[in-house]
Amino acid sequence: MSRILVAGGAGFLGAHLCEKLLEGGHDVFCADNLQTGVKCNIKHLLPQPYFNFIQHDITSALDVDVDEIYNLACPASPVHYQVDPVQTLKININGAINMLDLSKRNNAKILQASSSEVYGDPEVHPQSEQYCGKVDPVCMRSCYIEGKRCVETLFFSYFRQYGLKIKVGRIFNTYGPRMHPDDGRVISNFIVQALKGDDITIYGTGQQTRSFCYVDDLVEGLIRLMRTPVNITGPINLGNPYEITISQLAQHILSLTGSSSRLVYLPLPRDDPRQRKPVIDRARSLLNWEPKVNLDDGLKKTIIYFEKLLCKGGGSGVLNN
């Protein structure tokens, strides 16, 4: 049994990760300030004897005796991280420093959940880890993008200066149950709009592309990355290389839900990336990992989750703890 800290453990990804680590027989410490994470995501874990919830903001130091640290703490959707961009930067940078210092004190392995956002609006397609990206440091999304890029710099600086056992995974678009219905991400937006019979809002022409990874696959990738030998630091792309246009995604969700919602096209935000598709050769070779859940099956599971949530009256109120 390992003692494992999951920072941001009450969020969408964090809750799934906590659950999987508990199934593996580990002692799990879930730290979350509940800014965007919600207790209902981990409600079923609270009675378990090896699950420990700590309401804490990692921009302040945390002292806990652990063997491994997963740092997932940061709002991940533009709707949330743009509300308070200064705080988003603090969570990324100050939070990472506190987690790295905790790792140093405990001689613990530490994994950073980085993001495909570090590639910005890419001029190289698909994106491999060798690509340095095309990023506007003053755009509306830069508080998150540059925050994640700075965190990667911090991790490799601690690795080089102190010999920390670091892992960096670059997460591409991920979806599944426990997504927030109002988080502004495209899959949750489309499913909720379709189920309610509202217009489905597509920004731009809908020809921009994304690649979507089901949450169970992504969590398995994170765990496998943490389990690699110390000489494997990353960064490693974690995502599904199946690429689809936003318009195709909308039509697919309409078909799966049987919705009669209309497609409505709105202006594309200036800093919205035109294409995203990961090269996952490193993940395949170093982690023996690739996604298993196809988009059709993953969407069906996610639609069932949102159907149940909406039947219970879930919506923006789901953020109530």
Q: What is the pLDDT of residues 193-229, one digit of tens each?
A: 999 999 999 999 999 999 999 999 999 999 999 999 9
Query: What is the model's pLDDT at position 317?
Result: 38
Give the Cα separation of 44 and 30 in Å (integer). Answer: 13
Give the Cα separation of 94 and 101 in Å (integer). Answer: 11
Give the Cα separation of 77 and 209 in Å (integer). Answer: 17
Query: What is the model's pLDDT at position 268?
Result: 85
Query: What is the model's pLDDT at position 318?
Result: 43
DSSP-derived letter for residue 288 is: -
Which helix (H) or strand (E) is 115 found in, with range?
strand 109-115
Nearest to 257 by CA among 296, 293, 212, 303: 303
Query: What is the model's pLDDT at position 74?
Result: 93
Q: What is the pLDDT of residues 34-46, one digit of tens each?
A: 999 999 999 999 9
Using DSSP's 3-state secondary structure scheme, residue 297 falls into helix
pTM for the full predicted model: 0.94
Give the Cα separation of 54 and 85 in Å (integer). Answer: 24
Query: What is the model's pLDDT at position 78?
Result: 82
pLDDT category of residue 315 using cuts at 50, 70 and 90: low
**232 CB contacts (<8 Å, ≥6 apart)?**
167, 225, 286
- The active-site residue out of 70, 81, 119, 144 is 144
Q: What is the pLDDT of residues 143-162, one digit of tens each?
A: 999 999 999 999 999 999 99
| CB of 90 closer than 8 Å to CB of 59 | yes
pLDDT category of residue 183 using cuts at 50, 70 and 90: confident
Give the Cα separation of 265 and 254 in Å (integer). Answer: 15
Domain that residue 92 falls in: 3-319
Q: What is the pLDDT of residues 57-96, one digit of tens each?
A: 999 999 999 999 999 999 887 888 888 999 999 999 999 9
- What domain count does the chain have? 1
Amino acid at 301: K
pLDDT category of residue 320 using cuts at 50, 70 and 90: very low
Query: By percentage, how much of the chain surpasses pLDDT 90?
Result: 88
Query: What is the model's pLDDT at position 314?
Result: 57
Give the Cα separation of 253 and 265 in Å (integer). Answer: 16
Query: Catalytic site residue 144?
Result: yes
Query: What is the model's pLDDT at position 319?
Result: 38
pLDDT category of residue 273 using cuts at 50, 70 and 90: confident
CATH, residue 140: 3.40.50.720
How many C-beta atoms surround the C-beta of residue 255 within 10 A? 12
Q: What is the pLDDT of residues 113-152, one digit of tens each?
A: 999 999 999 999 999 999 999 999 998 899 999 999 999 9
Amino acid at 287: L
Query: DSSP letters along 163-182, please?
Result: ---EEEEEE--EE-TT--TT
Give the Cα separation of 166 and 155 in Å (integer). Answer: 7
Distance of CA 221 to the CA centre of its chain: 12
pLDDT category of residue 312 using cuts at 50, 70 and 90: confident
Give the Cα separation of 164 and 162 in Å (integer). Answer: 6
pLDDT at 108 over 90: yes
